[in-house]
Amino acid sequence: AEEYRMGLITPPPHQWTVTAKEAADEIKAKTDGRVDILIFPSGQLGSEAQMLQQLQTGAMDFAFFTLGEFSNRDPNYGIFLAPFIVDDVAGAQKLLKGETAQKLLDGMADFGLVGLGWGMAGMRMIVTSDPVETVEDLKGKKIRTIPFAPELAFWEGLGAAPTPMPLPALYDAFANGQVDGMQIDVEGTWNSKYFEHASSIIISDHMMFPMAAIASGRKWAGISEEDRAIVEAVFSEKLDSLVAGYAEIDADYRKKLETTEVTVMDVDRDWFGPALEEWYVRWREEAPMLKELEAEASGK
């Protein structure tokens, strides 16, 4: 039996880590212990940049990554962050298994990786400390985001000031007013208690938060074809149920947030106004594959 190492930045109780653990157990059973994957959560083996390098050399074998390291290298990986490219989790699930998604997985060979499939976290929404009713109210607000170019562009387009900040610092920063709001999901809003200092919870579901399941290109070549098929099948199945599960997770946490005193409101694409179209015009240039994704999403 050979030991393999799989790294994640999420802590043990997070859905991604739980899914990784389940996949590892099932793979071990189905390969009769030939593929034994040890899980290293919480960034124990390093940040995503550091893990990427270890995957490239073949020191590490598997990982779940956010889009950051990819979209930083090739803007086409940022197209999943297109606002309202899907309406809900079901739409996301379909798109993540589509042709464009597969093309992006194949393209990971350029980074020395094998793309095994896509997962995701909850749909992105907005939490603000001041009451917000129209998109105008977001103007000039400091909104905590992840420093992904497409996400920053989205917020700049709305006239807000996107403010990157490490997640552990966010609660204090929000409570003290260093940031006025954040782009997040309902699960995080509830679990990290951001709602305690919020006036508005805006369920916009405006953006997906995809996750890539990847393997080291170097190490993948050394696994027997039979075992590779098992690994691929197990990951594919587990990722699918992870994504599907977020429909329920999002709904559950939304209900929990509704029990608080904070206003919870639903907004749709029109609420955001013309800034969205400008975003698309710009990103169709920067990331040519966006057009393919749009065509696929509109069901053409």
Which residues lie near another protein (CB under 8 A)?
A: 5, 12, 38, 40, 42-47, 49-50, 52-54, 56-59, 68, 72-73, 110-112, 140, 142, 147, 152, 161-164, 166, 168-169, 171-173, 176-178, 217-218
- Select 18 or 173, whichever has its Cβ closest to another protein: 173
**Least distance in angstroms from the C-beta of 54 to another protein:** 5
240: burial class by Cβ within 10 Å (0-12, 13-18, 19+)? middle
One-letter identity of residue 213: A
Backbone phi, then psi, for 251, in 5-degree steps? -65, -45
**Least distance in angstroms from the C-beta of 160 to another protein:** 10
CA separation for the pair 271, 204 (Å, rounded): 9
Closest CA to 299 of 99, 153, 142: 99
Cβ atoms of residues 171 and 151 within 8 Å: no
- Select 33 or 177, whichever has its Cβ closest to another protein: 177
- Select 168 or 299, whichever has its Cβ closest to another protein: 168
Unique residue bearing structure tokens 């990786």? 113
**Least distance in angstroms from the C-beta of 114 to another protein:** 12
Sign of CA dihedral 116, 236, 120, 208: positive
**Least distance in angstroms from the C-beta of 233 to another protein:** 26
- Select 54 or 102, whichever has its Cβ closest to another protein: 54
**Least distance in angstroms from the C-beta of 141 to another protein:** 8
DSSP for 58-107, written as a single string: TS--EEEE-SHHHHTT-GGGGGGG-TTSSSSHHHHHHHHTSHHHHHHHHH
Closest CA to 16 of 255, 249, 285: 249
**Least distance in angstroms from the C-beta of 115 to another protein:** 16
Sign of CA dihedral 137, 159, 278, 106: negative
**Least distance in angstroms from the C-beta of 93 to another protein:** 29
- Select 197 or 291, whichever has its Cβ closest to another protein: 197
- Select 139 or 269, whichever has its Cβ closest to another protein: 139
For residue 230, how far is the Cα from the chain centroid? 25
**Least distance in angstroms from the C-beta of 227 to another protein:** 20
Which region holds residue 36: left if phi is over 0, alpha if psi is between -120 and 50, else beta?
Answer: beta
- Select 43 or 91, whichever has its Cβ closest to another protein: 43
- Select 39 or 243, whichever has its Cβ closest to another protein: 39
Radius of gyration of the chain from Cα atoms?
19
CA separation for the pair 101, 132 (Å, rounded): 35
